[in-house]
Amino acid sequence: METLRIDGRVVLVTGAASGIGNEIARACVREGAVVHLADASEAVHTAAEQLAGAGSGTAVPHRCDVTDPEAVRGLVEGVVAASGRLDVAFLNAGLNGVPAPLQPGGAIDELPFSSWRRVMDVNLDGLFHCLQQCARVMKEQRSGSIVATASTAGLRAEPRVSYPYVVSKAAVVGLVRQAALELARFGVRVNALAPGPVVTNIGGTGPRPAASVAAWEDSVPMRRWGRPADVTGLALLLASDASSWMTGGTHVVDGGASALTQVLSDALPAPDAGDR
Ligand SMILES: NC(=O)c1ccc[n+]([C@@H]2O[C@H](COP(=O)([O-])OP(=O)(O)OC[C@H]3O[C@@H](n4cnc5c(N)ncnc54)[C@H](O)[C@@H]3O)[C@@H](O)[C@H]2O)c1
């Protein structure tokens, strides 16, 4: 389908050294785009090398920490200097690494403010810095598609995920709506994709506890975790002209997880009445 094509488009992907961002970058190279991979990790250089033969597109690495506004400004200016424009920005860099409410140190009255800030810094403030710089270029161009990575954890309360992660992802949904509203008249679209549980390095590189893996699996009607490649179809749609009347939306890709009303007993203990 002609409108799904993105060959020749200039694409930026943040958080591209690993997981979902890396797979989106791979899909864009496969489809013939000029792809700029950005990541705080040095591994972005190897990631770009590995994508070199993935298709007819090209892969250019950039080391950039999205929490540093000047670095983000330099990144986006560098992309435009090298490729002449910026058509698509996947603003995907994110992390968690903070205990969930029922884990030690994760309850609201125990959570260190530094943990809250660390996640907010990347997932929300980092997105803000990237959105600001990309919007500046795309407004001037009078075209562009910005796709932020939210999460199904931002669409409802989620006892298995930390406070700052859930709240940062809920904020991503709001930021995307607000930016879509402002940027529509400039021909710039802003959407979010909201994946369910996907096997990546976000939970660490070691093996996950089997009980936790199984519990997440049970909350997905399709009864399996997602793979990064499960997200790329939606990503390519949002990048391409096939979604030219889509903006301001958050689109789930989660094996049906958000369609299910979860049985709370699996994730939350019974009420503790205490001494009354
Ligand atoms: N894996 C899931 O289950 C899942 C579900 C929903 C949403 N997400 C979101 O998907 C996105 C990608 O995560 P992933 O699961 O692929 O994890 P991942 O850890 O495999 O990849 C995240 C990448 O972001 C990079 N990164 C982290 N902090 C950064 C910073 N300050 N500046 C630049 N790069 C930075 C990391 O180096 C890493 O390469 C995140 O926004 C995450 O919140 C993941």
Ligand 1 atom closest to Cα of 150?
Answer: 7
Give the whole-angstrom CA distance, residue 161 versus residue 100. Answer: 5
Question: Tokens 């009420």 belong to which residue?
Answer: 271
**Which of 12, 13, 14, 20 for mutating ligand 1's site (highest number of atoms within 8 Å of CB)?**
20
Q: Which residue has the higher pLDDT, 276 or 231?
A: 231
* pLDDT tens readout for residues 145-171: 999 999 999 999 999 999 999 999 999
The closest residue, in CA terms, to atom 14 on ligand 1 is 19
195 CB within 6 A, ligand 1 = yes
Q: Are 3 and 31 in contact (CB under 8 A)?
A: no
User: Angle, nearest 10°, between helix axes 69-83 and 127-141?
Assistant: 30
Give the whole-angstrom CA distance, residue 23 versus residue 90. Answer: 12
Q: Which of 10, 65, 165, 234 is catalytic?
A: 165
In degrees, rounded to 5, the angle at the alpha carbon of residue 231 between the alpha carbons of residues 10 and 210 is 140
- For residue 153, give the nearest of 169, 176, 164 by alpha carbon: 169
Strand, helix or coil for residue 55: coil
- For residue 148, give the nearest of 183, 199, 189 by alpha carbon: 189
The closest residue, in CA terms, to atom 2 on ligand 1 is 198
Contacts of 152 (CB under 8 A, 6+ apart): 158, 194, 195, 196, 252, 254, 257, 258
> Confidence class of residue 107 from pLDDT cuts 50, 70 and 90?
very high
Q: Are 192 and 148 in contact (CB under 8 A)?
A: yes
| Residue 116 Cα distances to 48, 95, 162, 202, 246, angstroms | 31, 12, 9, 16, 32
Ligand 1 atom closest to Cα of 20?
Answer: 16
Ligand 1 atom closest to Cα of 65?
Answer: 32
Give the whole-angstrom CA distance, residue 151 versus residue 252. Answer: 8
Q: Is 217 exposed, middle or buried (0-12, 13-18, 19+ CB in 10 A)?
A: middle
Whether residue 276 is predicted with pLDDT greater than 90 in this model: the reply is no
Position 212 scores a pLDDT of 85
**Which of 202, 217, 232, 254 for mutating ligand 1's site (highest number of atoms within 8 Å of CB)?**
202
Q: Which residue has the higher pLDDT, 30 or 274?
A: 30
| Residue 151 Cα distances to 87, 112, 148, angstroms | 23, 23, 10
Give the whole-angstrom CA distance, residue 213 versus residue 225. Answer: 8
Catalytic residue flag (residue 163): no
Give the whole-angstrom CA distance, residue 114 versus residue 165. Answer: 13
* pLDDT tens readout for residues 226-268: 999 999 999 999 999 999 999 999 999 999 999 987 666 666 7
